[in-house]
Chains A and B, each alone.
Chain A
Amino acid sequence: MNTREKMICPDCGVEMNHHADKIDYSEALEEAGEADPAFGGVVEEAHTCPSCGRTHTRPADYYPKS
């Protein structure tokens, strides 16, 4: 269960829907230390706005860095 605050669409101001988590391997290569050790890449949450349909992402915080 994701207990984080809902993303708000920067264009419409409405709550977005979290529908996917996607591993971004390239970002991990570019930013050393950012990769989630469980997945080998940076896990990004994908959220889509039900009003305008735009998708925005944010890093998933499965394992907060120490």
Chain B
Amino acid sequence: MSVERPIFIPVILGTTRKGRASENVARFVYGELLKLAGVETALVDVRAISLPTDDAGEAIKDSDFSASVSRADGLVIVTPEYNHGYPGMLKHLLDTNLKEYVHKAVGVCGVSAGGFGGTRVIENLLPVLRELGLVTIFWDGNFSGAQKLFDHEGKLLDESYVKRIEKFLKELVWMSKVLRYGREHVSLD
């Protein structure tokens, strides 16, 4: 197995809205990834990527985002739940790439103001991720009551999330390593 290169798992913060609680979640998950040996990460903010809205797909690729996804072995997507759905800008960004995703791992953290931790947006996002060629893990990150989970400086107030995200990231790293080996060594032919 290729152990020389660290596993690269960027965190995609999937909303551009003001006052987004998902930003705290994304920074928290990013921080937990930074603690893992043999793993590199980056925080990708949808707000920081300027995409035209009068076209779609590969025609409007952002070169930095494509390079990041191309290098990635796995992805964390942090998405709020807006009326049970995912933000349009997140979908718009994800749709700009295709081959970059094939046989790479992805885990989703759902963020909601209510008590269901974004479970409905995660369920809605899964078929999209599958069609993009990504391989989903079965652990999710579910962040309920997101506006009250962090203090005004973005510090996590409920330590139980540390343990939950540890499980989530362990499976994501495992899947990322396995799929890297598969991409590089297990032939379809």
> Measuring CB to CB, which residues of chain A are less than 8 angstroms from any residue of chain B?
1-2, 17-22, 24, 26, 44, 46, 48-50, 53-57
Secondary structure type dominating chain A contacts? strand
Shortest Cβ distance from residue B102 to the other chain A in the assembled complex, whole angstroms: 4
Q: Which residues of the partner chain B approach A22 to less than 8 Å between Cβ atoms?
A: 98-99, 102, 133
Q: For chain B, give the interface size range.
A: 20 to 34
Given contacts A19-B103, A55-B102, A2 and B2 within 8 Å (CB-CB): no
Verify if B185 is at the interface (C-beta below 8 Å from A).
yes
| A19 engages B186 (CB within 8 Å) | yes
Contact check, A19 vs B182: say whether CB atoms are below 8 A apart: yes
Task: Name which of B57, B100, B184, B186 has the most chain A CB atoms within 10 A of its CB.
Answer: B184
Given known A44-B99, A46-B103, A50-B2, contact A26–B186 (CB-CB < 8 A): no
A55 to B104, CA, bound (A): 11
Residue B189, interface by CB 8 Å: yes
Interface residues, chain B, with chain A CB atoms under 8 Å away: 2, 5, 57-58, 70-71, 73, 98-100, 102-103, 133, 180, 182-189
Using Cβ atoms and an 8 Å threshold, which residues of chain A touch B180?
A: 53
B70 touches A19 (CB 8 A): no
Q: Which residues of B contact A48 (CB under 8 A)?
A: 103, 183-184
Contact A53 B5 (CB under 8 A): yes
Q: Which residue of A lies closest to B181 (CB)?
A: A50
Which chain B residue lies CB-closest to A57? B99
Min CB–CB distance A61 → chain B (angstroms) = 13
26 contacts between A and B (CB under 8 A): A2-B188, A2-B189, A17-B184, A17-B185, A17-B186, A17-B187, A18-B187, A18-B188, A19-B102, A19-B183, A19-B184, A20-B102, A20-B103, A22-B99, A22-B102, A24-B98, A26-B98, A46-B133, A48-B103, A50-B2, A53-B2, A53-B73, A53-B180, A55-B70, A55-B100, A56-B99
